[in-house]
Amino acid sequence: MSVRAFDVAIVGAGPAGSALALRLARAGARVALIERQRERAFRVGETLPPAIAPRLQRLGVWDRFIDMRPRASDHMLSSWGAAELQSQSFIAHPHQHGWQIDRARFDAMLAQAAVDAGAVLHAGCRVRGLDGDGAAGWRLQIEGSEAALHARWLVDASGRSARMAARLGSERIRIDDLIGVALLFAGGDEGGAPRGPMIEAVRDGWWYAARLPGGEELAVFMTDADLLQGGGDPTDFALGRLAAAPHTKRRVQDLRPPSRASVWPAASQRLACAAGAGWLAVGDAALGRDPLSSSGIDFALASAELACATLVAAQSGDEAAIARYAAAIARDFDAYRALRAQFYALERRWPDAPFWARRVSGAQRGSEVDAGFEPAAQIG
């Protein structure tokens, strides 16, 4: 079997992995970008905050982004802490618009930009073997490819599963068991008036709704995994909860409901250590945020920017660069947790309901508990 040599092997071609591949390739590195999926499937994660604009501009993909014809939104709607629906305008924000995107197209756009910059994309490939100790590099056996890969640096961009980091012994610290049950309603008007994304708190969790560029309405019920268990079929479970969410129900009442819901993990979590000898993690693999923050893709791009600087510094002989990166991820998680607690504390209508009581009391429901990290500023 032949072996192809790279400077960096990135496992996962989501926003974080592709953005990092793009930056590194432009810096002259030989980059392998390994993606399990051959075709991009529908994914939840379609709301981008106004602050995404400068990140995409610095990444050099702003024109590609606009060519995707994303749906601009100038406000956010919420029923949080009160039954009435409130509107928050983005007009005072320097960039004035948030965006609704086709997530599959967005991910494909970033991956193609990385390829155009010189990264080698291995699509439909899975890492079935990993050897190395971080000092002399890594050898990756790739299922779906005739060649093995050797890389000096390994990057885990595999999402919340953090598959590569798990192989290297880094455990996940999880502080809740949040999941999303996603329903995609068809029949909306693609050219209709802009509708801002919306969140609506209910007794067992909260709803998120957004109009996608193709006219579909996405409605996602966010709750804890144990509250879904025993509730029967996830599709029936979520559709049955619409009765308690009048604002969300109104948005979808004239649309065609889906035949099947998709369930996806959305826990707040981070790796116990997001970097080590010869490797680091980016995006959701390093730190998974509550969708309430609408900052998952923003963090993915930010962590890719920091990871690029870290790898360039480490390759140049900065022995402390990797440790600084891991510390930055830990600090960012602590700052994020503080903001998350503040926002959930605003909703006080159901203090006896398990979903809200867990968040108000600070109860930990995950595989690990708070490790007591020092608070610090977020990654910029």
Cβ atoms of 37 and 31 within 8 Å: the answer is no
User: Looking at the structure, do residues 75 and 184 belong to the same domain, yes or no?
Assistant: yes
Strand partners, 47: 100
Residues 255 and 277 in one domain: no
Same domain for 128 and 30, yes or no, is yes
Q: What is the structure's pLDDT at 365?
A: 45
Residue type, 145: S
Domain-terminating residue out of 222, 243, 266 = 266
Q: What is d(CA 95, CA 74) in angstroms, rounded to the nearest whole number?
A: 10
| 355 token code pair | 């979903």
Claim to verify: residue 296 and residue 360 sit in the same structural domain? yes
Q: How far is CA 90 from CA 72, 197, 214, in A?
A: 11, 12, 23
Name the domain boundary from 266, 298, 324: 266
Q: In this structure, is residue 89 part of a structural domain?
A: yes
Distance CA 59, CA 299 (A): 14
Do 228 and 206 sit in the same domain of this protein?
yes
- CATH label of the domain that carries residue 113: 3.50.50.60
1 located within any domain? yes
Residues 321, 369 within the same domain: yes
The contacts found for 160-163 with CB under 8 angstroms, 24 or more apart, are 160/265, 160/267, 160/269, 160/284, 160/285, 160/288, 161/285, 162/271, 162/281, 162/285, 162/286, 163/11, 163/127
At residue 40, the pLDDT reads 66
Q: Which of 266, 301, 317 is the last residue of a domain?
A: 266
What pLDDT score does 380 carry?
A: 45
Instruction: Look at residue 185 and tell me if it is in a domain.
Output: yes
In a domain, 52, yes or no: no
- Residue 302: inside a domain: yes
278 and 364 share a domain? Answer: yes
The reply to whether 78 and 214 lie within a common domain is yes
In a domain, 51, yes or no: no
- Residues 276, 234: one domain? no
- pTM, 2 dp: 0.90
User: pLDDT tens, position by position, for the chain (380 residues)?
Assistant: 577 899 999 999 999 999 999 999 999 999 999 999 877 666 676 788 888 999 999 999 999 999 999 888 878 899 999 999 998 876 566 666 788 888 999 999 999 999 999 999 999 999 999 999 888 899 999 886 677 899 999 999 999 999 999 999 999 999 999 999 999 999 866 555 557 889 999 999 999 998 888 888 999 999 999 999 876 789 999 999 999 999 999 999 989 988 899 999 999 999 999 999 999 999 999 999 999 888 899 999 999 999 999 999 999 999 999 999 999 999 999 999 999 999 999 999 999 999 999 998 754 444 333 322 222 234 54
Which residue range(s) make up the domain with 360? 1-46+103-174+271-380
- Which two structure tokens, joined as six digits, stand for 22? 């793009």
Collect all residues with Cβ–Cβ distance below 8 Å to 196 and sequence separation of at least 6.
Answer: 73, 74, 75, 76, 77, 87, 98
In a domain, 376, yes or no: yes
Same-domain check for residues 219 and 80: yes
Task: Please give the tally of structural domains in the chain.
Answer: 2
- CATH number, domain at 248? 3.30.9.100
**Residue 69 and residue 190 in one domain:** yes
Q: Are residues 279 and 311 in the same domain?
A: yes
Start-to-end CA span in the chain (Å): 43
